[in-house]
A and B are shown apart, each in its own frame.
Chain A
Amino acid sequence: MIENIIEINKGELLSKISEMHVQGQRLITLSCAEDDDGFMVLYHFDNDLKMTHFRVKIGRDEPLESISHIYWAALLIENEISEHFGIKVNNLALNFAGTLVLAKDSPKAPLLKKK
Protein backbone atom coordinates (compact mmCIF):
# COMPACT_ATOMS: atom_id res chain seq x y z
CA MET A 1 0.00 0.00 0.00
CA ILE A 2 1.02 3.64 -0.25
CA GLU A 3 2.81 5.08 2.77
CA ASN A 4 2.16 8.46 4.30
CA ILE A 5 -1.53 9.05 3.44
CA ILE A 6 -3.38 11.50 5.68
CA GLU A 7 -7.20 11.46 5.67
CA ILE A 8 -8.77 14.90 6.06
CA ASN A 9 -12.28 16.39 5.86
CA LYS A 10 -13.55 18.73 3.22
CA GLY A 11 -13.57 21.64 5.66
CA GLU A 12 -9.88 21.55 6.61
CA LEU A 13 -8.63 21.10 3.04
CA LEU A 14 -7.61 24.70 2.38
CA SER A 15 -5.77 25.13 5.67
CA LYS A 16 -3.71 21.95 5.20
CA ILE A 17 -2.79 22.89 1.63
CA SER A 18 -1.67 26.36 2.79
CA GLU A 19 0.61 24.69 5.35
CA MET A 20 2.22 22.68 2.53
CA HIS A 21 2.70 25.87 0.55
CA VAL A 22 4.47 27.57 3.45
CA GLN A 23 6.80 24.58 3.83
CA GLY A 24 7.78 24.88 0.17
CA GLN A 25 6.55 21.47 -1.01
CA ARG A 26 5.97 20.86 -4.71
CA LEU A 27 2.51 19.80 -5.87
CA ILE A 28 2.80 16.72 -8.08
CA THR A 29 -0.82 16.22 -9.12
CA LEU A 30 -4.36 15.31 -8.05
CA SER A 31 -5.94 11.88 -8.64
CA CYS A 32 -9.64 11.18 -8.65
CA ALA A 33 -11.42 7.82 -8.53
CA GLU A 34 -15.03 6.79 -8.22
CA ASP A 35 -16.28 4.92 -5.14
CA ASP A 36 -19.69 3.34 -4.48
CA ASP A 37 -21.08 6.38 -2.68
CA GLY A 38 -19.16 9.26 -4.21
CA PHE A 39 -15.66 10.25 -5.23
CA MET A 40 -12.23 10.15 -3.65
CA VAL A 41 -9.62 12.81 -4.48
CA LEU A 42 -5.93 12.39 -3.61
CA TYR A 43 -3.47 15.28 -3.41
CA HIS A 44 0.20 14.30 -3.92
CA PHE A 45 3.10 16.44 -2.69
CA ASP A 46 6.85 16.01 -2.97
CA ASN A 47 9.73 17.41 -0.92
CA ASP A 48 13.16 16.28 -2.12
CA LEU A 49 11.88 12.91 -3.37
CA LYS A 50 9.79 12.15 -0.25
CA MET A 51 6.04 12.03 -0.95
CA THR A 52 3.08 13.05 1.24
CA HIS A 53 -0.55 12.42 0.27
CA PHE A 54 -3.92 13.80 1.43
CA ARG A 55 -7.23 12.01 0.82
CA VAL A 56 -10.61 13.78 0.67
CA LYS A 57 -13.95 12.04 0.15
CA ILE A 58 -16.96 13.86 -1.32
CA GLY A 59 -20.47 12.70 -2.06
CA ARG A 60 -21.95 12.22 -5.48
CA ASP A 61 -23.48 15.69 -5.92
CA GLU A 62 -21.27 17.76 -3.63
CA PRO A 63 -18.91 20.41 -5.07
CA LEU A 64 -15.14 20.46 -4.54
CA GLU A 65 -13.17 23.51 -3.39
CA SER A 66 -10.42 24.55 -5.76
CA ILE A 67 -6.86 25.10 -4.53
CA SER A 68 -5.81 27.16 -7.53
CA HIS A 69 -5.58 30.36 -5.50
CA ILE A 70 -2.78 28.74 -3.47
CA TYR A 71 -1.11 26.60 -6.14
CA TRP A 72 -1.81 28.15 -9.55
CA ALA A 73 -0.71 25.03 -11.40
CA ALA A 74 -3.63 22.98 -10.02
CA LEU A 75 -6.19 24.60 -12.27
CA LEU A 76 -5.35 22.46 -15.32
CA ILE A 77 -5.95 19.20 -13.51
CA GLU A 78 -9.07 20.43 -11.69
CA ASN A 79 -10.63 21.43 -15.03
CA GLU A 80 -9.83 17.97 -16.37
CA ILE A 81 -11.38 16.22 -13.33
CA SER A 82 -14.58 18.24 -13.70
CA GLU A 83 -14.81 17.30 -17.37
CA HIS A 84 -14.04 13.61 -16.94
CA PHE A 85 -16.26 12.89 -13.93
CA GLY A 86 -18.83 15.68 -13.92
CA ILE A 87 -17.78 17.08 -10.51
CA LYS A 88 -18.51 20.76 -9.86
CA VAL A 89 -15.41 22.73 -8.77
CA ASN A 90 -15.84 26.10 -7.04
CA ASN A 91 -13.59 29.17 -7.21
CA LEU A 92 -11.33 28.17 -10.08
CA ALA A 93 -8.75 30.81 -11.01
CA LEU A 94 -9.34 30.10 -14.73
CA ASN A 95 -12.39 28.14 -15.85
CA PHE A 96 -12.31 26.48 -19.26
CA ALA A 97 -16.02 25.56 -18.98
CA GLY A 98 -15.88 22.13 -20.58
CA THR A 99 -13.53 22.91 -23.48
CA LEU A 100 -10.13 21.82 -22.15
CA VAL A 101 -10.04 18.19 -23.31
CA LEU A 102 -13.61 17.57 -24.49
CA ALA A 103 -15.38 19.07 -27.49
CA LYS A 104 -18.95 20.33 -27.90
CA ASP A 105 -20.27 17.05 -29.32
CA SER A 106 -18.33 14.67 -27.04
CA PRO A 107 -20.15 12.43 -24.56
CA LYS A 108 -20.54 14.05 -21.14
CA ALA A 109 -18.46 12.69 -18.22
CA PRO A 110 -16.91 9.77 -20.12
CA LEU A 111 -15.06 8.13 -17.20
CA LEU A 112 -18.12 7.92 -14.94
CA LYS A 113 -19.27 4.33 -14.56
CA LYS A 114 -22.63 4.73 -12.78
CA LYS A 115 -24.69 7.53 -14.31
Chain B
Amino acid sequence: MGELANGLSVALTPHNLLWGFAGTTLGTAVGVLPGIGPALTVALLLPITYGLDPTAALIMFAGIYYGAMYGGSTTSILLNTPGESATIVTALDGHQMARNGRAGAALATAAIGSFMAGTLATLALSLIAPLMVRLALSFGSADYFALMVLAFVMVSTMLGDSRIRGWLSLTLGLTMGFVGIDGLSGQTRFTFGIPYLLDGLDPVIVAIGLFAVGETLWIASRGPLAAELLPVRGSLWMTGAEWSRSWRPWLRGAAIGFPLGALPAGGAELPTLLSYSLEKRLAKHPQEFGRGAIEAVAGPEAANNASAAGTLVPLLTLGLPTSATAAVLLAAFQQFGLQPGPLLFEHEPRLVWAVIASLYVGNVMLLVLNLPLVGLWVKLLAIPRPWLYGGILVLASVGAFSVHRSVGDLVAMAAIGAAGFLLRAIGAPVAPVMIGVILGPSAEQHLRRALAISQYDWSVFLTRPVSVTLLSAAFVVGMSAVLRSRRS
Protein backbone atom coordinates (compact mmCIF):
# COMPACT_ATOMS: atom_id res chain seq x y z
CA MET B 1 0.00 0.00 0.00
CA GLY B 2 2.86 2.32 0.83
CA GLU B 3 4.26 1.60 -2.60
CA LEU B 4 0.93 2.46 -4.20
CA ALA B 5 0.84 5.77 -2.32
CA ASN B 6 4.33 6.52 -3.62
CA GLY B 7 3.13 5.60 -7.09
CA LEU B 8 0.18 7.93 -6.78
CA SER B 9 2.44 10.79 -5.78
CA VAL B 10 4.41 10.23 -8.98
CA ALA B 11 1.35 9.75 -11.18
CA LEU B 12 -0.32 12.89 -9.82
CA THR B 13 2.48 15.29 -10.72
CA PRO B 14 1.16 17.80 -13.29
CA HIS B 15 3.64 16.56 -15.88
CA ASN B 16 2.51 12.94 -15.65
CA LEU B 17 -1.17 13.90 -15.34
CA LEU B 18 -0.84 15.71 -18.63
CA TRP B 19 0.63 12.67 -20.38
CA GLY B 20 -2.02 10.48 -18.81
CA PHE B 21 -4.70 12.81 -20.12
CA ALA B 22 -3.13 12.83 -23.59
CA GLY B 23 -3.07 9.03 -23.55
CA THR B 24 -6.65 8.55 -22.40
CA THR B 25 -7.98 11.10 -24.89
CA LEU B 26 -6.02 9.59 -27.75
CA GLY B 27 -7.04 6.11 -26.65
CA THR B 28 -10.72 7.03 -26.61
CA ALA B 29 -10.42 8.46 -30.13
CA VAL B 30 -8.60 5.36 -31.32
CA GLY B 31 -11.20 3.15 -29.72
CA VAL B 32 -14.07 5.02 -31.32
CA LEU B 33 -12.60 4.82 -34.81
CA PRO B 34 -12.97 1.39 -36.34
CA GLY B 35 -9.93 -0.51 -37.55
CA ILE B 36 -7.02 1.14 -35.80
CA GLY B 37 -6.61 -0.42 -32.39
CA PRO B 38 -4.45 0.43 -29.38
CA ALA B 39 -1.63 -1.87 -30.55
CA LEU B 40 -1.16 0.02 -33.80
CA THR B 41 -1.39 3.41 -32.07
CA VAL B 42 1.22 2.61 -29.44
CA ALA B 43 3.50 1.13 -32.11
CA LEU B 44 3.18 4.27 -34.23
CA LEU B 45 3.87 6.50 -31.21
CA LEU B 46 6.90 4.53 -29.98
CA PRO B 47 9.53 6.32 -32.06
CA ILE B 48 8.07 9.72 -31.15
CA THR B 49 8.36 9.08 -27.40
CA TYR B 50 12.01 8.17 -27.70
CA GLY B 51 13.16 11.32 -25.95
CA LEU B 52 10.48 11.23 -23.24
CA ASP B 53 11.18 9.95 -19.74
CA PRO B 54 10.01 6.32 -19.42
CA THR B 55 7.47 6.94 -16.66
CA ALA B 56 5.60 9.59 -18.64
CA ALA B 57 5.67 7.54 -21.84
CA LEU B 58 4.43 4.37 -20.15
CA ILE B 59 1.70 6.31 -18.35
CA MET B 60 0.57 7.64 -21.72
CA PHE B 61 0.65 4.18 -23.31
CA ALA B 62 -1.35 2.68 -20.46
CA GLY B 63 -3.84 5.52 -20.94
CA ILE B 64 -4.15 4.69 -24.63
CA TYR B 65 -4.80 1.04 -23.79
CA TYR B 66 -7.49 1.79 -21.21
CA GLY B 67 -8.98 4.58 -23.35
CA ALA B 68 -9.34 2.31 -26.36
CA MET B 69 -11.24 -0.17 -24.20
CA TYR B 70 -13.68 2.60 -23.24
CA GLY B 71 -14.06 4.07 -26.70
CA GLY B 72 -14.49 0.78 -28.54
CA SER B 73 -18.05 0.36 -27.38
CA THR B 74 -19.22 3.63 -28.95
CA THR B 75 -19.25 2.55 -32.59
CA SER B 76 -20.53 -0.90 -31.60
CA ILE B 77 -23.57 0.65 -29.94
CA LEU B 78 -24.30 3.51 -32.33
CA LEU B 79 -23.30 2.08 -35.70
CA ASN B 80 -23.18 -1.69 -35.16
CA THR B 81 -19.53 -1.48 -36.31
CA PRO B 82 -17.18 -2.88 -33.67
CA GLY B 83 -13.78 -1.21 -33.70
CA GLU B 84 -11.99 -3.83 -31.60
CA SER B 85 -12.51 -7.54 -31.17
CA ALA B 86 -13.21 -6.95 -27.47
CA THR B 87 -16.37 -4.98 -28.29
CA ILE B 88 -17.91 -7.36 -30.82
CA VAL B 89 -20.29 -8.77 -28.19
CA THR B 90 -21.33 -5.26 -27.13
CA ALA B 91 -22.75 -4.65 -30.60
CA LEU B 92 -25.28 -7.48 -30.24
CA ASP B 93 -27.60 -5.79 -27.77
CA GLY B 94 -26.00 -2.35 -27.63
CA HIS B 95 -27.09 -1.50 -31.15
CA GLN B 96 -30.57 -2.89 -30.51
CA MET B 97 -30.80 -0.54 -27.51
CA ALA B 98 -29.83 2.34 -29.78
CA ARG B 99 -32.59 1.40 -32.21
CA ASN B 100 -35.03 1.34 -29.32
CA GLY B 101 -34.06 4.89 -28.43
CA ARG B 102 -31.87 3.89 -25.47
CA ALA B 103 -28.46 4.67 -26.98
CA GLY B 104 -27.72 7.11 -24.13
CA ALA B 105 -28.35 4.45 -21.51
CA ALA B 106 -26.28 1.90 -23.43
CA LEU B 107 -23.32 4.28 -23.70
CA ALA B 108 -23.65 5.29 -20.06
CA THR B 109 -23.81 1.74 -18.73
CA ALA B 110 -20.79 0.89 -20.88
CA ALA B 111 -18.81 3.87 -19.55
CA ILE B 112 -19.76 3.43 -15.89
CA GLY B 113 -19.34 -0.34 -16.12
CA SER B 114 -15.91 0.16 -17.67
CA PHE B 115 -15.00 2.52 -14.84
CA MET B 116 -16.20 0.17 -12.11
CA ALA B 117 -14.60 -2.89 -13.62
CA GLY B 118 -11.42 -1.05 -14.58
CA THR B 119 -11.01 0.27 -11.03
CA LEU B 120 -11.80 -3.06 -9.36
CA ALA B 121 -9.46 -4.92 -11.68
CA THR B 122 -6.68 -2.37 -11.11
CA LEU B 123 -7.20 -2.87 -7.38
CA ALA B 124 -6.87 -6.62 -7.91
CA LEU B 125 -3.77 -5.99 -10.01
CA SER B 126 -2.13 -4.04 -7.19
CA LEU B 127 -3.12 -6.55 -4.49
CA ILE B 128 -3.01 -10.07 -5.86
CA ALA B 129 -0.88 -9.95 -9.00
CA PRO B 130 1.71 -12.49 -7.72
CA LEU B 131 -1.02 -14.95 -6.69
CA MET B 132 -2.90 -14.52 -9.98
CA VAL B 133 0.18 -15.17 -11.99
CA ARG B 134 0.92 -18.43 -10.18
CA LEU B 135 -2.60 -19.62 -10.91
CA ALA B 136 -2.36 -18.50 -14.53
CA LEU B 137 0.90 -20.39 -15.08
CA SER B 138 -0.57 -23.65 -13.85
CA PHE B 139 -3.03 -23.48 -16.76
CA GLY B 140 -1.94 -25.96 -19.41
CA SER B 141 -3.33 -26.61 -22.87
CA ALA B 142 -5.67 -29.31 -21.55
CA ASP B 143 -7.14 -26.78 -19.10
CA TYR B 144 -7.57 -24.19 -21.84
CA PHE B 145 -9.40 -26.72 -23.94
CA ALA B 146 -11.69 -27.56 -21.01
CA LEU B 147 -12.33 -23.83 -20.53
CA MET B 148 -13.29 -23.53 -24.21
CA VAL B 149 -15.66 -26.50 -23.89
CA LEU B 150 -17.32 -24.77 -20.93
CA ALA B 151 -17.53 -21.56 -22.98
CA PHE B 152 -19.14 -23.40 -25.90
CA VAL B 153 -21.74 -24.97 -23.63
CA MET B 154 -22.42 -21.63 -21.93
CA VAL B 155 -22.90 -19.68 -25.14
CA SER B 156 -25.16 -22.31 -26.69
CA THR B 157 -28.00 -20.17 -25.34
CA MET B 158 -27.07 -17.66 -28.01
CA LEU B 159 -28.04 -20.06 -30.77
CA GLY B 160 -31.54 -18.63 -30.91
CA ASP B 161 -34.99 -20.16 -31.25
CA SER B 162 -34.32 -22.44 -34.18
CA ARG B 163 -31.64 -24.96 -33.27
CA ILE B 164 -30.86 -25.94 -36.87
CA ARG B 165 -30.38 -22.39 -38.06
CA GLY B 166 -28.35 -21.58 -34.94
CA TRP B 167 -26.07 -24.55 -35.64
CA LEU B 168 -25.81 -23.49 -39.27
CA SER B 169 -24.48 -20.10 -38.16
CA LEU B 170 -22.12 -21.69 -35.63
CA THR B 171 -20.61 -24.15 -38.12
CA LEU B 172 -20.25 -21.33 -40.66
CA GLY B 173 -18.27 -19.39 -38.04
CA LEU B 174 -16.15 -22.43 -37.19
CA THR B 175 -15.33 -23.09 -40.83
CA MET B 176 -14.42 -19.44 -41.37
CA GLY B 177 -12.31 -19.47 -38.20
CA PHE B 178 -10.19 -22.37 -39.48
CA VAL B 179 -9.20 -20.55 -42.66
CA GLY B 180 -5.47 -19.82 -42.88
CA ILE B 181 -2.14 -21.27 -41.79
CA ASP B 182 -2.48 -23.76 -38.96
CA GLY B 183 -0.39 -22.44 -36.07
CA LEU B 184 0.78 -25.87 -34.95
CA SER B 185 1.87 -27.47 -38.21
CA GLY B 186 2.27 -24.51 -40.54
CA GLN B 187 -0.05 -26.32 -42.96
CA THR B 188 -2.65 -24.25 -44.82
CA ARG B 189 -6.37 -24.89 -44.36
CA PHE B 190 -9.22 -23.73 -46.59
CA THR B 191 -7.00 -21.21 -48.38
CA PHE B 192 -7.67 -22.41 -51.95
CA GLY B 193 -4.32 -21.01 -53.09
CA ILE B 194 -5.37 -17.42 -52.32
CA PRO B 195 -2.50 -15.57 -50.58
CA TYR B 196 -4.95 -13.25 -48.81
CA LEU B 197 -6.43 -16.19 -46.89
CA LEU B 198 -3.07 -17.40 -45.50
CA ASP B 199 -3.37 -15.30 -42.35
CA GLY B 200 -6.98 -16.24 -41.81
CA LEU B 201 -10.01 -14.02 -41.47
CA ASP B 202 -9.57 -11.28 -38.88
CA PRO B 203 -12.47 -11.43 -36.37
CA VAL B 204 -12.85 -7.65 -36.61
CA ILE B 205 -13.33 -7.87 -40.40
CA VAL B 206 -15.84 -10.69 -39.93
CA ALA B 207 -17.75 -8.65 -37.35
CA ILE B 208 -17.78 -5.52 -39.50
CA GLY B 209 -18.96 -7.55 -42.48
CA LEU B 210 -21.65 -9.45 -40.59
CA PHE B 211 -22.96 -6.61 -38.46
CA ALA B 212 -22.45 -3.34 -40.34
CA VAL B 213 -22.51 -4.51 -43.97
CA GLY B 214 -24.94 -7.42 -43.53
CA GLU B 215 -27.33 -5.22 -41.58
CA THR B 216 -27.19 -2.42 -44.16
CA LEU B 217 -27.92 -4.86 -46.99
CA TRP B 218 -30.80 -6.31 -45.00
CA ILE B 219 -32.26 -2.86 -44.22
CA ALA B 220 -31.93 -1.91 -47.89
CA SER B 221 -33.78 -5.04 -48.98
CA ARG B 222 -36.70 -4.05 -46.70
CA GLY B 223 -37.42 -1.08 -48.95
CA PRO B 224 -37.52 2.63 -48.13
CA LEU B 225 -37.07 3.76 -44.56
CA ALA B 226 -38.61 6.13 -42.09
CA ALA B 227 -36.57 9.31 -41.93
CA GLU B 228 -34.45 8.72 -38.84
CA LEU B 229 -33.64 6.41 -35.96
CA LEU B 230 -34.98 7.33 -32.55
CA PRO B 231 -32.13 9.29 -30.98
CA VAL B 232 -33.68 9.17 -27.50
CA ARG B 233 -36.82 7.72 -26.02
CA GLY B 234 -37.39 8.71 -22.40
CA SER B 235 -34.46 10.00 -20.41
CA LEU B 236 -31.05 10.49 -22.09
CA TRP B 237 -29.41 8.95 -19.03
CA MET B 238 -29.95 5.65 -17.33
CA THR B 239 -33.25 5.29 -15.50
CA GLY B 240 -33.54 3.84 -12.00
CA ALA B 241 -34.58 0.49 -13.43
CA GLU B 242 -31.60 0.51 -15.77
CA TRP B 243 -29.24 1.24 -12.86
CA SER B 244 -30.60 -1.62 -10.83
CA ARG B 245 -30.31 -3.96 -13.83
CA SER B 246 -26.71 -2.85 -14.49
CA TRP B 247 -24.77 -3.03 -11.25
CA ARG B 248 -24.73 -6.78 -10.81
CA PRO B 249 -23.58 -7.41 -14.40
CA TRP B 250 -20.80 -4.83 -13.86
CA LEU B 251 -19.49 -6.71 -10.83
CA ARG B 252 -19.88 -10.13 -12.44
CA GLY B 253 -18.23 -8.84 -15.62
CA ALA B 254 -15.25 -7.61 -13.60
CA ALA B 255 -15.02 -10.94 -11.78
CA ILE B 256 -14.96 -12.85 -15.09
CA GLY B 257 -12.75 -10.45 -17.00
CA PHE B 258 -9.83 -10.01 -14.62
CA PRO B 259 -8.78 -13.66 -14.12
CA LEU B 260 -9.38 -14.58 -17.76
CA GLY B 261 -7.40 -11.54 -18.88
CA ALA B 262 -4.52 -12.71 -16.68
CA LEU B 263 -4.41 -16.11 -18.36
CA PRO B 264 -1.53 -16.19 -20.86
CA ALA B 265 -3.86 -17.37 -23.65
CA GLY B 266 -7.11 -15.83 -22.43
CA GLY B 267 -7.69 -12.93 -24.80
CA ALA B 268 -10.33 -10.22 -24.54
CA GLU B 269 -13.11 -11.88 -26.54
CA LEU B 270 -13.65 -14.96 -24.37
CA PRO B 271 -14.54 -13.01 -21.19
CA THR B 272 -17.04 -10.84 -23.08
CA LEU B 273 -18.74 -13.89 -24.57
CA LEU B 274 -18.86 -15.65 -21.19
CA SER B 275 -20.23 -12.56 -19.48
CA TYR B 276 -22.97 -12.26 -22.12
CA SER B 277 -24.09 -15.84 -21.75
CA LEU B 278 -23.89 -15.72 -17.95
CA GLU B 279 -26.09 -12.61 -17.87
CA LYS B 280 -28.56 -14.27 -20.19
CA ARG B 281 -28.76 -17.28 -17.89
CA LEU B 282 -29.24 -15.13 -14.80
CA ALA B 283 -31.60 -12.56 -16.36
CA LYS B 284 -35.25 -12.35 -15.31
CA HIS B 285 -36.23 -11.78 -18.94
CA PRO B 286 -33.79 -13.74 -21.08
CA GLN B 287 -36.08 -13.29 -24.09
CA GLU B 288 -35.02 -9.60 -24.15
CA PHE B 289 -31.45 -10.66 -25.04
CA GLY B 290 -30.80 -9.89 -28.67
CA ARG B 291 -33.52 -7.23 -28.60
CA GLY B 292 -31.67 -4.67 -26.48
CA ALA B 293 -31.13 -5.94 -22.93
CA ILE B 294 -29.03 -3.55 -20.87
CA GLU B 295 -27.41 -6.44 -18.95
CA ALA B 296 -25.94 -7.62 -22.25
CA VAL B 297 -24.08 -4.32 -22.60
CA ALA B 298 -23.17 -3.76 -18.94
CA GLY B 299 -21.63 -7.22 -18.36
CA PRO B 300 -19.44 -7.60 -21.45
CA GLU B 301 -18.21 -3.99 -21.28
CA ALA B 302 -17.16 -4.47 -17.67
CA ALA B 303 -15.54 -7.79 -18.59
CA ASN B 304 -13.48 -6.34 -21.41
CA ASN B 305 -12.08 -3.54 -19.25
CA ALA B 306 -11.29 -5.89 -16.41
CA SER B 307 -9.52 -8.22 -18.80
CA ALA B 308 -7.39 -5.31 -20.03
CA ALA B 309 -6.15 -4.88 -16.46
CA GLY B 310 -5.75 -8.64 -16.18
CA THR B 311 -3.47 -8.62 -19.24
CA LEU B 312 -1.09 -6.37 -17.30
CA VAL B 313 -0.60 -9.06 -14.62
CA PRO B 314 1.55 -11.43 -16.71
CA LEU B 315 3.11 -8.46 -18.52
CA LEU B 316 4.36 -6.69 -15.39
CA THR B 317 5.17 -9.73 -13.27
CA LEU B 318 6.58 -12.08 -15.91
CA GLY B 319 7.23 -9.96 -18.99
CA LEU B 320 4.68 -12.11 -20.81
CA PRO B 321 2.77 -10.30 -23.55
CA THR B 322 -0.62 -11.99 -23.93
CA SER B 323 -2.28 -9.63 -26.43
CA ALA B 324 -1.15 -7.58 -29.39
CA THR B 325 -1.26 -4.43 -27.29
CA ALA B 326 0.68 -6.06 -24.48
CA ALA B 327 3.33 -7.13 -26.99
CA VAL B 328 3.74 -3.54 -28.14
CA LEU B 329 3.82 -2.32 -24.53
CA LEU B 330 6.59 -4.84 -23.91
CA ALA B 331 8.53 -3.37 -26.81
CA ALA B 332 7.96 0.04 -25.22
CA PHE B 333 9.47 -1.12 -21.93
CA GLN B 334 12.44 -2.54 -23.81
CA GLN B 335 12.93 0.67 -25.75
CA PHE B 336 13.59 2.37 -22.43
CA GLY B 337 16.02 -0.35 -21.42
CA LEU B 338 13.57 -1.91 -18.93
CA GLN B 339 13.01 -5.66 -18.91
CA PRO B 340 9.53 -6.53 -17.67
CA GLY B 341 9.79 -9.75 -15.77
CA PRO B 342 10.19 -11.19 -12.34
CA LEU B 343 12.79 -8.60 -11.44
CA LEU B 344 10.97 -5.48 -12.67
CA PHE B 345 9.13 -4.89 -9.39
CA GLU B 346 12.47 -5.16 -7.53
CA HIS B 347 14.54 -3.04 -9.89
CA GLU B 348 12.04 -0.35 -10.86
CA PRO B 349 9.42 -0.17 -8.08
CA ARG B 350 8.91 3.56 -8.54
CA LEU B 351 8.10 3.23 -12.21
CA VAL B 352 5.86 0.15 -11.89
CA TRP B 353 3.80 1.61 -9.08
CA ALA B 354 3.53 4.93 -10.88
CA VAL B 355 2.13 3.14 -13.93
CA ILE B 356 -0.32 1.15 -11.78
CA ALA B 357 -1.36 4.30 -9.93
CA SER B 358 -1.86 6.08 -13.24
CA LEU B 359 -4.41 3.41 -14.15
CA TYR B 360 -6.62 4.51 -11.25
CA VAL B 361 -6.23 8.12 -12.31
CA GLY B 362 -6.84 7.19 -15.95
CA ASN B 363 -10.07 5.44 -15.09
CA VAL B 364 -11.42 8.55 -13.39
CA MET B 365 -10.32 10.70 -16.32
CA LEU B 366 -12.03 8.37 -18.76
CA LEU B 367 -15.31 8.46 -16.87
CA VAL B 368 -15.20 12.26 -16.75
CA LEU B 369 -14.28 12.37 -20.43
CA ASN B 370 -16.83 9.84 -21.64
CA LEU B 371 -20.04 10.70 -19.78
CA PRO B 372 -20.45 14.19 -21.28
CA LEU B 373 -19.74 12.71 -24.70
CA VAL B 374 -22.82 10.48 -24.43
CA GLY B 375 -25.16 13.36 -25.25
CA LEU B 376 -23.02 14.29 -28.22
CA TRP B 377 -22.76 10.74 -29.60
CA VAL B 378 -26.52 10.17 -29.35
CA LYS B 379 -27.08 13.15 -31.66
CA LEU B 380 -25.42 11.08 -34.39
CA LEU B 381 -28.58 9.01 -34.54
CA ALA B 382 -30.58 12.10 -35.56
CA ILE B 383 -28.83 12.02 -38.94
CA PRO B 384 -31.29 11.00 -41.69
CA ARG B 385 -31.10 7.24 -42.00
CA PRO B 386 -30.03 7.06 -45.66
CA TRP B 387 -26.99 9.17 -44.74
CA LEU B 388 -26.40 7.29 -41.50
CA TYR B 389 -26.14 3.97 -43.32
CA GLY B 390 -24.02 5.56 -46.06
CA GLY B 391 -21.70 6.81 -43.32
CA ILE B 392 -21.67 3.41 -41.63
CA LEU B 393 -20.46 1.77 -44.84
CA VAL B 394 -17.75 4.40 -45.28
CA LEU B 395 -16.52 3.88 -41.71
CA ALA B 396 -16.79 0.12 -42.10
CA SER B 397 -14.62 0.20 -45.21
CA VAL B 398 -12.01 2.53 -43.77
CA GLY B 399 -11.97 0.35 -40.65
CA ALA B 400 -11.60 -2.87 -42.59
CA PHE B 401 -9.00 -1.39 -44.90
CA SER B 402 -6.79 0.20 -42.27
CA VAL B 403 -6.38 -3.04 -40.26
CA HIS B 404 -3.89 -4.47 -42.77
CA ARG B 405 -4.08 -1.89 -45.57
CA SER B 406 -5.20 -4.60 -47.92
CA VAL B 407 -7.81 -4.42 -50.67
CA GLY B 408 -8.45 -8.08 -49.89
CA ASP B 409 -10.03 -6.99 -46.61
CA LEU B 410 -12.61 -4.96 -48.55
CA VAL B 411 -13.48 -7.97 -50.72
CA ALA B 412 -13.72 -10.16 -47.60
CA MET B 413 -15.89 -7.57 -45.86
CA ALA B 414 -18.31 -7.45 -48.80
CA ALA B 415 -18.44 -11.25 -49.11
CA ILE B 416 -19.03 -11.72 -45.38
CA GLY B 417 -21.65 -8.97 -45.57
CA ALA B 418 -23.44 -10.96 -48.27
CA ALA B 419 -23.33 -14.04 -46.02
CA GLY B 420 -24.73 -11.95 -43.17
CA PHE B 421 -27.56 -10.83 -45.45
CA LEU B 422 -28.37 -14.41 -46.47
CA LEU B 423 -28.42 -15.54 -42.83
CA ARG B 424 -30.85 -12.76 -41.95
CA ALA B 425 -32.98 -13.60 -44.98
CA ILE B 426 -33.48 -17.21 -43.83
CA GLY B 427 -34.01 -16.11 -40.23
CA ALA B 428 -30.72 -17.46 -38.83
CA PRO B 429 -29.03 -15.60 -35.94
CA VAL B 430 -25.67 -13.95 -36.74
CA ALA B 431 -24.13 -13.96 -33.23
CA PRO B 432 -23.19 -17.69 -33.35
CA VAL B 433 -20.98 -16.99 -36.37
CA MET B 434 -18.83 -14.78 -34.15
CA ILE B 435 -18.73 -17.48 -31.45
CA GLY B 436 -17.41 -19.93 -34.01
CA VAL B 437 -14.82 -17.53 -35.39
CA ILE B 438 -13.55 -16.56 -31.93
CA LEU B 439 -13.70 -19.79 -29.95
CA GLY B 440 -13.35 -22.45 -32.65
CA PRO B 441 -9.74 -22.07 -33.78
CA SER B 442 -8.40 -21.51 -30.30
CA ALA B 443 -10.27 -24.54 -28.89
CA GLU B 444 -8.89 -26.70 -31.71
CA GLN B 445 -5.32 -25.45 -31.20
CA HIS B 446 -5.45 -26.17 -27.47
CA LEU B 447 -6.93 -29.61 -28.04
CA ARG B 448 -4.18 -30.61 -30.45
CA ARG B 449 -1.46 -28.98 -28.38
CA ALA B 450 -2.60 -30.79 -25.21
CA LEU B 451 -2.63 -34.10 -27.09
CA ALA B 452 0.79 -33.49 -28.63
CA ILE B 453 2.32 -32.70 -25.24
CA SER B 454 0.77 -35.82 -23.69
CA GLN B 455 1.76 -37.91 -26.75
CA TYR B 456 -1.87 -38.60 -27.57
CA ASP B 457 -2.89 -39.77 -24.16
CA TRP B 458 -6.55 -38.65 -24.16
CA SER B 459 -6.84 -39.14 -20.41
CA VAL B 460 -4.92 -35.89 -19.96
CA PHE B 461 -8.24 -34.04 -19.84
CA LEU B 462 -9.43 -36.14 -16.91
CA THR B 463 -6.25 -36.32 -14.84
CA ARG B 464 -5.60 -32.60 -14.40
CA PRO B 465 -7.63 -31.04 -11.59
CA VAL B 466 -8.39 -27.75 -13.38
CA SER B 467 -9.44 -29.46 -16.57
CA VAL B 468 -11.63 -32.03 -14.84
CA THR B 469 -13.36 -29.30 -12.80
CA LEU B 470 -14.09 -27.21 -15.87
CA LEU B 471 -15.34 -30.21 -17.85
CA SER B 472 -17.64 -31.23 -15.00
CA ALA B 473 -18.99 -27.69 -14.85
CA ALA B 474 -19.58 -27.83 -18.61
CA PHE B 475 -21.40 -31.15 -18.19
CA VAL B 476 -23.67 -29.76 -15.45
CA VAL B 477 -24.48 -26.60 -17.42
CA GLY B 478 -25.16 -28.63 -20.55
CA MET B 479 -27.40 -31.14 -18.77
CA SER B 480 -29.40 -28.42 -17.05
CA ALA B 481 -29.96 -26.73 -20.41
CA VAL B 482 -31.17 -30.01 -21.91
CA LEU B 483 -33.51 -30.64 -18.97
CA ARG B 484 -34.89 -27.13 -19.14
CA SER B 485 -35.66 -27.38 -22.84
CA ARG B 486 -37.35 -30.78 -22.23
CA ARG B 487 -39.61 -29.19 -19.62
CA SER B 488 -40.60 -26.19 -21.70
- State whether these chains interact: no
